[in-house]
Amino acid sequence: MPHLTSRQRAHLRSLAHPLKPILQVGTEGVSEAFLTSLDEAFRNRELLKIRVLDTCDLTLKEAASAISEHRPEVEVVQTIGHVAALYRPFPEDPEIELP
């Protein structure tokens, strides 16, 4: 997937604003179990938020980087505080129309 333009990223940020984090990165960091949960969450939605807990040894930027490394099709839309918004379009018939 090509990288998002700033306009597309801004559009996704506006869509992600009302969302609540649905996954948490805890003491195990970005583990295989977390990545499996992430894949499961992306089966039902294209845009989601994750939260990095205080008990995690990774910073939010490190966790987002690790997710991008293990799942290159996932784009990090935004990182604020302990929360990151992630985007992965459906392979067929994406729901979110990017500008």
* Backbone torsions φ then ψ of 84, nearest 5 degrees: -125, 140
23, 48 in Cβ contact below 8 A? yes
CA gap 88, 99 in Å, rounded? 16
Residue ranges of domains in the chain, CATH in brackets: 6-87 (3.30.110.60)
Question: According to the model, what pLDDT value does residue 1 have?
Answer: 53
Q: pLDDT for 16-50, tens place per residue?
A: 999 999 999 999 999 999 999 999 999 999 999 99
pLDDT score recorded for residue 19: 96
Output the pLDDT for position 92: 87
pTM of the full structure: 0.92
pLDDT at 84 over 60: yes
